[in-house]
Structure 1
């Protein structure tokens, strides 16, 4: 098994070393990845499943995950792609089955954040993704751009438009919390 080290040189790793490295990444990033997926989906079990599936893909292809410039960014991209794919399937299913509304409270997540996430689901997906990753998952504009495979200027535009739409959907105090909340890690 080989994967690139920080200096760019390939390194050979034993199965135990790969497992140890993936476990370290899991422990260090799981909560942030779930938060990013939850901000996108609004469904905690769905977000957890998407992140778990991303880690399963990393286990199936450890060389690809570990050779990435940022294994966390690679996992985040995979998890969000899984969440989007599941969302598309769920939209089709929702036409057949009536879903219950999202919970009004979740442990560790304030009511303002839940209101923000509910309002975000009314935005175009590209704007909601940018806001979720930048404001709720606390990624820089450049990290969001890399994750979504687009330019930083595109992300800035999506953020401006998404925030303008949220300002119309939320009361002033809740909207102010978008910038004022500290992200739990």
Structure 2
């Protein structure tokens, strides 16, 4: 991937990837941070990234793994970070997004990730299975359970 192609890829994908990772993690600042770090890592390997090989999936997977690593490493440091604040606040998400994130937070981690990849990122069951390393049947099970768990929350939004 040339420098120009990478810049175009970044411009086209960054905001969307932040939104996707935000829905998976439930933390907008964390999503912005890990997606940015994933793009830095992608920059270093841009010669090997190919549009056909799915650079967006690669960046999303790296961002997810970074987020999980941070959760494991950080423990109580996350609370201190929130107490003391960070950089200038990003634009607030709308009420529908806040409600969706709150509903997604009720799901177990694997169900939440699979649901976001399938319904928000618009990946097929097979693509979700490949990206998460679980079987297509397990992806379908997680999707079914996620839909069942989310139904009351989403119906309340429509009311």
Indicate how the Cα distance of structure 1 residues 98 and 72 shifts in structure 2: closer, same or farther if over 3 A, else same.
Answer: closer
Hey, what does 2:73 align to over in structure 1? 89
Equivalence for 1:62? 46
2:3 to 19, 22, 43: 19
Matched ranges for 1:110-129 at <5 A: 110-129=94-113
Decide which structure has greater helix share. 2
Residues 79-118 of structure 1: per-residue CA shift (max 9 Å, x gap): 111122222234x126874957xxxxx8574323312211
Distance (Å, rounded) in 1 between the aligned partners of 2:146 and 2:8: 35
Moved >3 Å (runs of 4+):
94-100, 106-110
Number of positions where the alignment pairs a residue of Structure 1 with one of Structure 2: 153
Q: Could you state the TM-score of these two structures normalised by the residue count of structure 1?
A: 0.70
Alignment partner of 2:122: what SS?
coil
TM-score, L = length of structure 2:
0.80
Unmatched tracts of structure 2, length 5 or more: 84-89
Q: Which is greater in Rg?
A: 1
1:32 corresponds in structure 2 to 16
Point out where structure 1 has 5 or more consecutive residues left out of the alignment: 1-16, 101-105, 178-185
- Kindly state the Cα deviation for residue 62 of structure 1 after the two structures are TM-superposed: 2.0
